[in-house]
Structure 1
Amino acid sequence: MNTQANKPLTVVATIKAKPEHAEQIKSELLKLTAASQTDQGCIQYTLHQDNANPNGFIFYEIWENNEALQQHVQSSHFQHYAKVSEGMVDEFVITEMTSL
Structure 2
Amino acid sequence: MKIYVTAIVKSKATHRTEVGAVLQNMVKQTRQEKACETYTLHQSIEDENTFVFYEIWENQEGLDLHNSQTYVKEFIALMEEKLENKPIILKTKLV
TM-score by length of 1: 0.88
Percent identical across equivalent pairs? 28
Structure 2: state its 5+ residue gaps. none
CA distance, structure 2, for counterparts of residue 72 and residue 34 of structure 1 = 13
CA distance, structure 1, for counterparts of residue 26 and residue 14 of structure 2 = 20
Provide the residue aligned with 1:40 in structure 2: 34
1:1-100 pair list within 5 angstroms: 7-91=1-85, 92-100=87-95
- Of structures 1 and 2, the larger Rg is shown by 1
**Partner SS, residue 11 of structure 1:** strand
Please tell me the residue identity of whatever aligns with 2:37. Answer: I
Number of aligned residue pairs: 94
The range that moved more, 43-52 or 75-84, is: 75-84
The range that moved more, 33-42 or 79-88, is: 79-88
CA distance, structure 2, for counterparts of residue 29 and residue 86 of structure 1 = 15
Please tell me the residue identity of whatever aligns with 1:8. Answer: K
TM-score by length of 2: 0.93
How far the C-alpha of 1:84 sits from its partner, in A, is 4.0
How far the C-alpha of 1:86 sits from its partner, in A, is 4.0
Q: Deviations over 1:13-52 (max 9, x none)?
A: 0000011111110111001110011112000000000011
Q: Contact conserved, 1:25 with 1:85, CA < 8 A, in 2?
A: no
How far the C-alpha of 1:83 sits from its partner, in A, is 2.0
